[in-house]
Amino acid sequence: MVHRHTLEDVDMPTQQTVLLVGGTGRTGGRVLRQLLSRGIRVRAIVRSGRGLPPDIADNPCLMVVEATLLSLSEEELQRHVRGCDAVISCLGHVLSLKGIFGSPHDLVARATSRLCRGVEALQPPAPVKFILMSSVSVNRPGRLDARRGAFERAFLWVLRGLLPPAKDNQRAADFLLAKVGPNNAFVQWVVVRPDSLLPGEVSEYASHEGLVNSLFAPGSTNMANVAHFMCELVTNPETWAAWKGKLPVVVNASSKLA
């Protein structure tokens, strides 16, 4: 399955509320800006509001919660999740020695578990969408990523042993696949897998069910395109229906099949 996306895909919804974590990161900041531009109410959990641009910080649709997600109590987390139509996680490890090898090694997996369990505890009347930004280093189960051969799978196995973030991203996806599952009454999910991230504006891009390129000959994905796709998952029912319970790979239209 391949879906191509252009700027005309933007669907302006009735007002929704999204809980966003990781909203001061390079991609998360773009998600935040695009959600607000669509008139969506956003609750952003950030370590410090000083990381938000002034024009965003003053937006009346934005509520900023200055906290570390993993430090919130269950009651506090549920209070922030309550009433949200969707939860988007753009959390990741900073590309530095401390960010890669320092604690917590399981930031993404723990955050994913806590957010989903928080939603389940509230038992909302309609399922909440959970959207996780991940990486093409994450495998679909059962070797469904047919382009990933034995050597590349072995390389990733070694990489996960050496680099905590690689293991963390896979564990987060595995939690959604095995623990939340495809038929959860309270949480529906999508794991978004971009290729090599680039700056740039929203451009034509495509979402694929399987891998497009090899790890050794990567494609490219504008961070703005990842943000656009995540916003489409929130606001466009057809996009959500096409990808819920899946791990779509998002690449720029200029990326060629390997």
pLDDT in tens, 40-82: 999 999 988 888 888 888 899 999 999 999 999 999 999 999 9
Answer yes or no: is pLDDT of 181 > 70. yes
53: its two tokens: 């641009």
Q: How many CA atoms lie within 13 A of 108 on its CB side?
A: 29
- The rounded distance, in Å, linking the Cα atoms of 85 and 72 is 20
DSSP code per residue over 38-72: TT-EEEEEES-GGGS-HHHHT-TTEEEEES-GGGS
pTM score of the predicted model? 0.88
Range 2-252 has CATH code 3.40.50.720: yes
Alpha helices, DSSP H, located in the chain: 26-37, 54-57, 74-81, 97-101, 107-122, 150-162, 164-175, 223-235, 237-243
Domain locations along the chain: 2-252
Residue 230 has pLDDT above 60, yes or no: yes
Residue 142 binned pLDDT confidence (cut-offs 50, 70, 90): low
